[in-house]
Amino acid sequence: MDVMTAVLSRRSERNLVEPAPSDDEFAYLLRAAATAPDHGRLRPWRWILVRGEGRVALGRSFAGASSASGFRRDRTEAKTQRAPLLATLVFTPVAEHQVPEWEQLAATSAMVGSLGLLLHARGFGSIWRTGRYAESAPVRRLLGLRPAERLLGWLYIGTPGEPQEPRRRTPDDVTDRISVFAAEPVSV
């Protein structure tokens, strides 16, 4: 799949089933995604791969952090079963570096965008999920986050449960978002 097709046909997939990429395949794709623009090559991120029983433990942590009870608690716990792989994205900014934190976050986002396209090109589906559990102290403890780290969410990954031929999106006209700077001539 060429890059333009990948960009115009990638969609967030909600129904994800096995197989998901193996740990080795995820690492392979991540090596390529990590070539995204990253001033200083800081790689201010890390991934925690959650599969199998880990998804159950994470779901229990979600439910424990929720004020829901009964049926709603069960639904909260089941959220982690929506995909065979939950790739947990942790932002690990390098403090007091000449590259400001906002730029480190932008580099992390660029890497995730590249990873999503690479997964799509390999036939996998994904959806980036965030929400209040990314701020939950019990979830942070379960995943072993350090105080300076931020949980940016989960990339739910698997094979689309209802595979369809990739439909190309029609790009919007965004020319109203472009301006051209023309400096006044400087007289010497």
Note the pLDDT tens digit of each residue in 55-90: 999 999 998 887 766 668 888 899 999 999 999 999
Nearest by Cα to 50 from 91, 20, 87, 77: 87
Query: For residue range 116-165, what is the model confidence (pLDDT) as tens digits?
Result: 999 999 999 999 999 889 999 999 999 999 999 999 999 999 999 987 77
What is the average pLDDT score of the chain? 93
First to last CA, the chain: 53
pLDDT, position 72:
82
Long-range contacts of 9-15 (CB under 8 A, 24+ apart): 9/120, 9/166, 9/167, 9/168, 9/169, 10/116, 10/117, 10/120, 10/166, 11/125, 12/126, 12/127, 12/128, 13/125, 13/126, 13/127, 13/158, 13/160, 13/161, 14/82, 14/127, 15/160, 15/161, 15/162
The residue to which tokens 């909600």 are assigned: 14
Query: What percent of the chain stands above pLDDT 70?
Result: 98
Question: Could you give all domains of the chain from N- to C-terminal order, each with its CATH number?
Answer: 3-177 (3.40.109.10)
* pTM score, whole prediction: 0.90
Is the CB of residue 44 less than 8 Å from the CB of residue 92?
Answer: yes
